[in-house]
Amino acid sequence: MNIDSTLRPHLDALDDRYCEVLALTPHAEAIIRSPGPAHEAGDRFLRAGFVRIPGVVSPAALEALAGELWPILSPLAFAVRVPHTTGPAGTLLGGGRLRRVDTGSLERDGQGDALASVLRAVGLVEFGRLLADRLAPILRHVIGPAVYERMFFNLYDEGDYISPHDDAHMGDRIDVTFPVTLDGVGGLRVLSGGYLETHYDGEGAMSVLGPRVWHEVPPLLRVSPERPPRRLTITMRYV
């Protein structure tokens, strides 16, 4: 594989960053030993289709991993562009703009296989499998027997967003996501009790989003005049 030399330091750092995230936190280890909080999270997930569990991985480790992954994933990402159109009753229909790195969104035997081999070469396929193994003792109380399928990544640049949608076309998938915003404030809004409630990124939180739940990604806003914000979601898909 031909590698841009500017990527070398980021690639060399990845194994350590993977290990730091895979170590989980003492809080996560405590949940694994006595899964009361995992049962409670499972109850909330059953009721609302969404649950956020803070403190599962080290926030610093997750930010460090996102910082190394961004320059590696950015050139691999393809644009996801869904322009808004107006509906029959003068309504504005949903849309959004982001970038994605996902073998599942590409055709097999072509770009999908090429991307898969790059992700394998940089250790992300193994990292996804190992993280799924580490989290299995918690997740089985939340999502039951759903099976880990793959890891994929969404990249949001300044102003990127996705308007409310329910991913109904994705069927019964469950997404387990570690969202990270660098140099900004990012999050996910999930419909609950009639309102889109904000769930901020950070705190080493793992969010679990079930099928057909209305959610949106608010626009990524700049907080620093010098540094543009970046938001990376590391998602494990379960089916």
Chain residues binding Fe ion by CB under 5 A are: 167
Task: Give CA–CA dist 16/229, Å, rounded.
Answer: 24
40/216 with CB nearer Fe ion:
216
**Structure tokens that stand for 213 in this block:** 């739940």
Min dist CB 226 to Fe ion, Å, is: 31
41/188 with CB nearer Fe ion:
188
144's CB contacts (< 8 A; 6+ apart) are none
Min dist CB 165 to Fe ion, Å, is: 6
Task: Give CA–CA dist 64/84, Å, rounded.
Answer: 35
Task: Give CA–CA dist 150/87, Å, rounded.
Answer: 35
Task: Give CA–CA dist 147/132, Å, rounded.
Answer: 9
> In the bound complex, which residue of the shown chain has the CB atom lying closest to Fe ion?
167
Min dist CB 81 to Fe ion, Å, is: 15
33/169 with CB nearer Fe ion:
169
23/191 with CB nearer Fe ion:
191
Min dist CB 223 to Fe ion, Å, is: 24
Give me the helix-helix angle, 124-143 and 8-22, nearest 10°.
Answer: 30
58/235 with CB nearer Fe ion:
235
138's CB contacts (< 8 A; 6+ apart) are 28, 31, 32, 35, 38, 41, 53, 56
Min dist CB 17 to Fe ion, Å, is: 26
Min dist CB 175 to Fe ion, Å, is: 8
Task: Give CA–CA dist 160/16, Å, rounded.
Answer: 30
Terminal Cα distance for the chain, rounded: 32
40/167 with CB nearer Fe ion:
167
H and E: helices and strands count for the chain: 6, 13
